[in-house]
Structure 1
Amino acid sequence: MSAPVSEPVVVNADPATGVATRPAKGRWLAEVLRTERLTPQMMRVTFGGAGLSEFAVGVPTDSYVKLHFVPRDAPYGVPYNADEIKRDLSPEWWPIMRTYTVRSWDAGTGELAIDFVVHGDEGVAAPWALHAAVGDQIYVTGPGGAYAPNPAADWHLFVGDDSALPAIAAGLESLVSGSRALAVIEVGSPADEQRIASAADVEFIWLHRDDPAGPPDIAATVRELRFLPGQVHAFVHGDAGFVRELRRYLRVEKSVAREFLSISGYWKRGLAEDGWRTAKQSWAQPVDDAEAQLER
């Protein structure tokens, strides 16, 4: 099967600085350069290669890409032609798409780092990351993304579980000296906490699922926070259960304006990404209705 290496589109850049304001979007062939076990439940895979030569990210610190995993025992490998696969093979052999945060992109070295939450050999992406070897290839599409900490905010709130940790870390690292932030992060155990460098004054609250006192309630923890004075810019991402509760809390009870809130359920327990994408609209509807009442 024939296989184009990449299909980029034009980068939109600030004419004064040359910095990308919107990233090039396309289909890129990425090659594994190295892997690193960051914590018991987090694996970093660093990609590079000629296929990423025109890749770029813009301003958002929550930039994300979609990785296309070849099903186990598929009758083809990477590189491949997606159009030919969809034409010639039944759907169970089509590449499986999963969305991941760009943990970092170094334009100078052409290295793209992505962190994977790993829980043994469950799922599609985690086993791939656990067994990834130098030289392995995978197609990447994107990037997308919209959130970056608003410098007009008086302080920043970051809330999430392991799935949001890469985006939270990228956001905290982007804050300048003099900024203030609270970060509430749920991980498996104390060993899964990460050291995150930030020029800002950051207070971390780490919650652990293996706590002998019982699993943490991330929404209740946020409700008990003493909010800092002034305008907050909040980033709340992760399991749809606590995200929906906090979306209502922040929008309806705390009256945080939409433009100062980035909130999304990355996943929902019991659903793969495809199923969650289908269910997401009905999940969000009750809060949408409450917000509509608020804005009347």
Structure 2
Amino acid sequence: MAGRPLQSFEVSRTEQLTPHMVRVVLGSSHFDTFAPSKFTDSYVKLAFVPDGVDVAALPRPLTLDSFADLPPEKKPSVRTMTVRDVDVDAGELTVDIVVHGEHGIAGAWAASAQPGQPIYLMGPGGAYTPDPAADWHLLAGDESALPAIATALEALPPNAVGKAFIEVAGQQDEIPLTAPENVEVSWVYRGGR
């Protein structure tokens, strides 16, 4: 991972999807170097560079190794995020990020992200796409898995059969999902139902 190139993106816009999830759309003028993944669990690794780090002065090509000589508090924190959407024509990448109040690096960043704010990422990666020939599908996860589940549901063929179980804090954290008619989506509320 350390030697993988960090690609420069910036926040294009954000949208509060639920009280605990923010959609962040990232754009880049160098999007042609980003090769979108065809997997429904496609992910990128966001590198949160601390304030005050002169990224332009770091060794090139820019990788996590470029930060090796900096003190620990100046090294980026890396978090893995599922890609919700890629718009190659617009040069944009969308990630939905769970916000746990002020806790956590990615959620706090997403809650306060502003257009033009820089972010660095590695990727994409991924390995899973639903088998369209499968007799039955089961998808399950909490809100952190919701972007991957949503993308997988959209990739299922119209004749797919199955169930999806998604655990969230409460009804306020449900989002509209597109699924084939015979795939039942069940929202499970944490601590109840």
Aligned CA distance change for structure 1 residues 69 and 107 (closer, same or farther; 3 Å): same
Determine which structure has more spread, i.e. the larger CA radius of gyration.
1
What root-mean-square deviation, in Å, do the aligned CA atoms of Structure 1 and Structure 2 show? 1.8
- Output one character per residue of 1:48-75: Cα deviation in whole Å (capped at 9) or x when no partner: 121323212232100011000023xx43
Rounded Cα–Cα distance in structure 1 between residues aligned with 2:57 and 2:41: 29
Which whole-Å CA distance do the structure 2 matches of 1:37 and 1:96 have between them?
A: 23
Give the equivalent residue in structure 2 for 1:208.
189
Q: CA-to-partner distance for each residue in 1:158-196, whole Å, 9 max, x for gaps?
A: 000011000000000111211112000000110101111
TM-score (norm 2): 0.89
Structure 2 counterpart of 1:86: 68
2:27/2:91 contact within 8 Å kept: yes
Distance in structure 2 (CA, Å) of the matches to 1:176 and 1:125: 33
Alignment correspondent of 1:139: 120
Q: Which has the higher contact order (CA 8 A, sep 6+)?
A: 2
The letter for the 2-side match of 1:86 is A
**Which sections of structure 1, spanning at least 5 residues, go unmatched?**
1-24, 217-296
Deviation of the 1:155 alpha carbon: 1.4
User: Is there any run of 5+ residues in structure 2 with no aligned partner, and where?
Assistant: 59-63
Matching of residue 75 in structure 1 with residue 52 in structure 2 = yes
Structure having the larger proportion of residues in helix: 1
Q: 1:131 to 1:177 in 2, by over 3 A?
A: same
SS at match of 1:103: strand
Partners of 1:100 and 1:80 lie apart in 2 by: 27
Secondary structure in 2 aligned to 1:126? helix
User: What is the TM-score when the length of structure 1 is the normalising length?
Assistant: 0.59
SS of residue paired to 1:53: helix
Q: Percent identity?
A: 48
1:175 aligns with 2:152: no
Q: Given the superposition, is the C-alpha separation of residues 54 and 85 from structure 1 closer, same or farther in structure 2, using an over 3 Å criterion?
A: closer
Output the CA distance in 1 between the equivalents of 2:146 and 2:54: 31
Q: Are 2:85 and 1:104 aligned?
A: yes
In 2: Cα distance, 1:101 partner to 1:140 partner = 12
Structure showing the higher strand proportion among its residues: 2
What residue identity is the alignment partner of 1:180?
V
Q: Note if contact 2:53-2:74 (Cα within 8 Å) is conserved in structure 1.
A: no
Matched residue, 1:40: 19
Alignment of 1:193-272 (within 5 A): 193-209=174-190, 214-215=191-192
Residues 31 and 78 (structure 1), Cα distance of their counterparts in 2 relative to 1, 3 Å cut: farther
- Provide the C-alpha distance between the structure 1 equivalents of 2:66 and 2:34, rounded to a whole number of angstroms: 24
